[in-house]
Amino acid sequence: MNLKRVVWAVALLGLVICGFISYQIYQAVFAVNTNFENERRAIYLPTGANLADLEQQLSPNIKNWNYFLAVAQRKGYVSRIKPGKYVLLAGMNNNEIVNTLRSQNTAVRVTFNNQETLGSLAGRISAQIEADSLSLLEEFTSGEWVDDLGLDEDTALSAFLPNSYEFFWNTSAEEFCKRMIKEHKTYWTEERIELAKKQGLTPVQAYTLASIVQKETAKASERPRVAGVYLNRLKKGIKLQADPTVIYAVKQYSGNYDTIIKRVLNRDLAVDNPYNTYKYKGLPPGPIAMPDLSALNAVLEPEEHDYYYFVADMERPGFHMFAKTLAQHSRNAQQYYKWINAQGIRR
């Protein structure tokens, strides 16, 4: 009788232990382990991430780190942590979390436009992918691709076409540039190269002129006409006299590209800088900013006309008054100067 009781007690204890183990296994593998509801959470694992990095990123988003770790070790993930961006969904269990971290590196959308320098571009990109601004800037200025495309530090910006692109978050500086070269070559088809030649320009020169057009007018509909003005001046050998290039020259001279200049002064026109198109004929050494594709396309397919001058139209904000003669332009300019003085804009 006592033996029976012992057997039953041992059996009962065994069942309790099995139940407890089963419960623990269930909790570890299949129970919900995210600590948030009705939303997504992204975690970012850097290149070379170790277990401490994983815990730092993951712990704020889950209920039980030890349960997760047990499953991760069982599935062999801990020794093969992969860098990238991973999106956790509310209600995930540890098995689902590990599977996500093993195979679902999620792309991020990288957007850039209107940067004036390689440095500002590097800063913009580094805020969106893992590569830091220093490694990006080094690749922008000294990567093999710069020489391969026949570019230099003044013209390297022309390799980058502003748009939104998808990258993995852990993209390196070199990988980013390789993608940009691919996009550059895709855009510059034989047809577009021929359109540039028709205007007497190389692709780099077209990009440079487009950067001026971009800075001159925010109205995409007006850009083909503005491009036509500058192309007319280039063909006649007339100085471009583009205010945005003077502003760029002043910024480059001071080293402060964040300066806001709303009015070009006479002393600015005398700045001895190759970007000052009031002082030097032809295009500047390189682009003064990153133009939108609408500005670049405007240079490739400009409006054909006899205009050689333009100035801001105060009756139509954002647009310009165009003139064929200097006399007509001078009259238009007087209206502009009268308005800008009335606004108290001195710089």
What integer pLDDT is reported at residue 22 of this predicted model?
47
Domain extent listing, the chain: 16-103, 110-187, 200-342
What pLDDT score was predicted for residue 198?
97
From 99, 33, 43, select the one nearest 65 (Cα to Cα). 33
Residue 184 corresponds to which amino acid? Answer: H
CA distances, 150 to each of 83, 196, 203, 286 (Å): 34, 17, 11, 13
Place of tokens 């007690």: 9
Burial class (CB in 10 A: 0-12, 13-18, 19+), 4: exposed
Amino acid at site 278: Y
CA dist 75 and 71 (Å) reads 6
Contact by Cβ (8 Å): 136, 176: yes
Per-residue tokens: 251: 């910024």
236: left (phi over 0), alpha (psi -120 to 50) or beta: alpha
Provide the 3-class DSSP secondary structure of residue 177: helix
N-to-C CA span, the chain = 105
Distance, in Å, from the CA atom of 254 to the CA atom of 93, rounded to the nearest integer, reads 57
Helix, strand, or coil (residue 167): strand
3-class secondary structure, 49:
coil
Amino acid present at 198: K
Looking at CATH, the fold of the domain delimited by 16-103 is given as Dna Ligase; domain 1 (3.30.1490)
How is residue 166 written in tokens?
Answer: 């998808």
Q: How far apart are CA 341 and CA 302, in angstroms?
A: 33
pLDDT, tens digit only, all 347 positions of the chain: 565 555 455 555 454 454 444 445 545 555 889 998 888 999 999 999 999 999 999 999 999 999 999 999 999 999 999 999 999 999 999 999 999 999 999 999 999 998 999 999 999 999 999 999 999 999 999 888 888 888 998 999 999 999 999 999 999 999 999 999 999 999 999 999 999 999 999 999 999 999 999 999 999 999 999 999 999 999 999 999 999 999 999 888 777 787 777 778 778 888 889 999 999 999 999 999 999 999 999 999 999 999 999 988 888 888 999 999 999 988 887 887 777 776 666 65
Q: What is the CA radius of gyration of the chain?
A: 31
